[in-house]
Every structure is written in C-alpha cells, then in structure tokens.
Amino acid sequence: MPVAKPESSDSRVIAHVDMDCFYVQVEQRKQPQLRGLPTAVVQYNEWKGGALIAVSYEARKFGIKRSMRGEEAKEVCPQVQLVQVPVARGKADLSGYRNAGSEVVSILARRGRCERASIDEVYLDLTDAAEMMLADNPPQGMETIDEEALKSHILGLNNEDGSDVKENVRNWIHRHNADHRDKLLACGILIVAELRMQVLKETEFTCSAGIAHNKMLAKLASGMNKPAQQTVVPFSSVKGLLDTLPIRKMKQLGGKLGISLQMDMGVNTVGDLLQFPEEKLQERYGINTGTWLWNIARGISGEEVEGRLLPKSHGSGKTFPGPRALKTVPAVQHWLNQLCEELSERLCSDLDQNKRIAHTLTLHARAYKSSDSDSQKKFPSKSCPLRYGTAKIQEDAFNLFQAGLREYIGFYGGKTRGSHCRGWGITSLSVSASKIVPIPSGTCSIAKYFHGQSTSHFSSMQSSDNLNTEATLSLPSGSECYSEVNLSEPKIDFPKEESWIKDTVPDLDLQEQKDLSSTLSEKTQDGFIQEDISPLLLSEPE
C-alpha cells in the first residue's frame, strides 16, 4: 500500500479522466447510425445472445445491465442494438479499443504528466499547468469562462437555495479570497474542461473527469457525475465525501481487506475508519497497510502520477466457464497457442513502434478439482524469462502450465492416462509479458535477437521503416543463456520442476494487474467479467 507523503501534496492538481461507456462509443463511431439508440456491446459467443460487456446510457434507461445476456437485453428492450466484439483467434479482439484509447491519451498528454491506467482511463498531473495559469492568467480575473467549465460539479457548493448553479460555479472560480489549493483547483477545472472538449472534437468521444488533490480522490470523483461531466473535490469537502462512502467502493478495498474491515472491525464506511488510531490499524493489518488505512480515512494519498503513456505489461486471456472448462492437456495447449500468438503479435508491435522489450513471461490460470478435499487450492502462477518469437513463447507458456499443473494436482496425487488427467478443469487462462523497458544500446543485431522466430514476424520486422536487420538491440538480462536452457516438454508425472521456472504472484507494481482481486470482485458484481475479456485489460466499471 502507498504511504502518504507530506501534506504539501494537497497543493497538487490531479485529474482522473474516464471514457464514457467506451466500447459502445468506439462502435458508434464506426457506425454513426447507432448514436442515440439503446446499444450494447456483446461477446461473440452465441449462448443466449452473448454476454454484454458495455451498455449505452440510452439502454440503461430501459433497465439493461452488463450482467445480462443478449437475449435478456432483447426481452427488456426489443429495440436494443447488439454489436459484437471483433473476434480473432477464437477470442475477443480488443485491439480496436486499445487504439482508440491511445488517441485519447495523446490528446490528454498535451497539458500534463499522463498515466494511462487502462484502455479507457487516464490520470493527469496538471499541477505545473495550473501553477502557470495561476501566475499568468489567474481564473479570478477572467471575464469569460467556458460554458463546459461552468457545468462542473463542485462538492460542498450549496446549490439548494434556488440560485443559478452555473453562476455559483463562476463565483467559486472567481473567488479572490480562496486559499492557494482552491485557486489551483479552479485552474484545473478550466484545463480539464478544455481537454475534454478537445477529445470530443478530435475523436468524437465523450469523457467524464474527477479533479482533486490526489489520485484517490480524483478517481472517486470521476464516476460521480456521468456521462460527459466533471466533478471537483475541494480540500474542505473531503471529509463529507468519505464519511458516508461505503468501504467496498474504495479502490483496493473491494476484496478480502474490505471484507475483513466490515466483518472484524465493524467498518462499513470510509469515515468509520476515523475511530481507530493508527497503532490499532497497524496492529491488525501490519504497519504499511495500517498506515495506508489511517491515511485514506482522511483523504491522504501520496501516490504519484507515473507519467506513462504505454502499458507496463501486455496480457491475453480467456475464460472457460461451466461446461466449457478445459479438461485435457491438448485442449489447454491449443488455447495457450492462441493466446501466445496474440501476445507475440503485441510484443512485436511494441518493439517496432516503441522500441521496448519485455523480460518476463507469466502464466495465470484458474482451475478446480472435482474430487479432492483441497479443491479450493489455487492454481499456482508461474513465470520464466521471456524469449521473443511466437513458437518460443508458446513452448515456454506450455512448460509453465505443465509445471503449475503438476503442483496443483500434486506430484503423486493425479493419475494420468495419455493426455488426460482426471478430476481437474481449467476455467481461465492468461499469459502476460512484463518488465518492459526501452531498448538500451547494444551489440546484437535484430537478426540474432530473433533467431528462431517465425518467418512472418521476422519479415515484418525486416520491412519496418524504423527497424531493420542492421539495427542493434540489447537482449534482456540473462538472455544469452536461453539457448542453453532445457526447454524440452516436461512430463506431468515428472516430480521436479525446471530451475528456470519460477513461482510468481502478479506484480503489484503493474498497473494492469494492481489490485486485481478487488477489481475482479467489483466487475463480477457488475457483470463485467464475461467470457473472453481478460482481467488484465479491464478498467474500472463505467
């Protein structure tokens, strides 16, 4: 958990920009005739019309929810337009959504440090831009203020006396006696409103935003008034916001920690945490987590906007619910090959476009055992050094699965018969590439680096305008030993794992995997985790 920095961080201006029902907007841009109509984006599978993964605001008015299937949505609203997610390699293809998200990021990054948190959400540190505006053209002296800025929702601003809401916002922005923090937020209101209008002009996408003094508060605020609106959290309104906020609504408290706070400590709202001294929370949850809980109860967070426009990892996954669970090794290998092919394609694209290489390959799976008393045991995640080339990634991922399966069923607890191993099923598979870093100067040619890679990938790299076989590329640490590693296919009943395979827990520093358990919990409740959309690629609920 991040530990807060000194109170001077309250003078920062942080925005969290959240695209409104983004998957639907991407489809509506491709098919403008869908605009204004109740629309939902569904998975490609045919069972009951497919799983809804995004629902337009027009459709929500009819009671359509993301927990529904396509046929259910049609029953609720016969005129709903159902648009299929594109399909590639037998699973959902999110590349179009990723690319659309990149368009938005490139615009937002013009005014401040920008951190891409997921396909459809971005953090911005606008402190420098706000300070510059305050010095050169302070809001309190502006004669005209953009209409979009005047539509802002400012928490704590009293609009219940019948007065004009926009005029109240104008007066708040114009205050000469405001403290420095509020003056900076006033600048943030103007900057974010301008950025949102620029996104709309250049991409046709609407977005909502939260503006506050830290990432935590900005994130909370961005979802309070949607779509196409922005919400501001002045320092004086922080306590009022958190006092009644359900504990499970706070990021990182949607999982086991939130349940423990409710069940063991009687904490139902973030404000309830105020009754516990920091020492008590540290005693119960450890020093770092205890301090973090004490801080968030007071709206304190020192987490920095990282200044990252590119993802810190790439992942590809697919779920196999119910009767579609994979129960044979060949079935698992087939789908691993599909996932690895997509992952390899994305890695090559990243290398080509951004000159970055990944160092670590990780396999995650969810599984069940039908007859074992330890049926709740988790399938262990495994990782190894990443070798470029589709065939190599496929081979290594399968080896990681074999190692994980041996551990999961027990070295001697599972009986094999040919390619079958009775009593287990795989309900989810994903592969990810992490520890991605810019290419340092090196001496190995790309031809040597991609030795053994598939012809199609290597040919595309050779034909690139920016990379060719004469370019130089340094290999990931330890890669000079790859050719000596024994990568022969391990047998399931072999009792000793290869030394190069490592147990791993998803790297909590990876933004795409950070707080995965609570994110999965939130999205499952909202029906967002469906079929093939990998949890590594999802943002918070819209």
**Predicted pLDDT at 39:** 97
Cα separation values, 259 from 248, 266, 269, 288, Å:
8, 10, 12, 18
Q: Cα dihedral sign for 29, 33, 34, 35?
A: positive
Whether residue 246 has a cis bond before it, omega within 30° of 0 = no
In whole angstroms, what is the distance from residue 139 CA to residue 47 CA? 55
Give me the residues of the chain with pLDDT under 70, please.
1-9, 44-46, 160-162, 371-376, 411-422, 441-542
List all residues 6 or more positions away from 30 whose beta carbon is below 8 Å from its beta carbon.
Answer: none
Contact 107, 201 (CB under 8 A): no
In whole angstroms, what is the distance from residue 481 CA to residue 475 CA? 11
List all residues 6 or more positions away from 163 whose beta carbon is below 8 Å from its beta carbon.
Answer: none
Beta bridge partners of 91: 88
Contact 187, 134 (CB under 8 A): yes
* Number of neighbouring beta carbons within 10 Å of residue 367: 22
**Predicted pLDDT at 480:** 31
Question: From the centroid of its chain, how far is CA 67?
Answer: 19
State the Cα torsion 538-185-11-267 to the nearest 10°: -50
Task: Locate 405 and state its tokens.
Answer: 């399966």
**Predicted pLDDT at 432:** 97
- Selecting among 121, 497, 512, 540, the annotated active-site residue is 121
**Predicted pLDDT at 9:** 60
In whole angstroms, what is the distance from residue 259 CA to residue 479 CA? 43
**Predicted pLDDT at 89:** 85
Provide the residue type at 279 as one letter. E
Instruction: Clarify whether 121 is annotated catalytic.
Output: yes
**Predicted pLDDT at 364:** 97
Domains of the chain (ranges; CATH) run 22-86 (3.40.1170.60), 97-297 (3.30.70.270), 314-410+423-438 (3.30.1490.100)
In whole angstroms, what is the distance from residue 205 CA to residue 35 CA? 11
In whole angstroms, what is the distance from residue 233 CA to residue 520 CA? 27
**Predicted pLDDT at 475:** 38
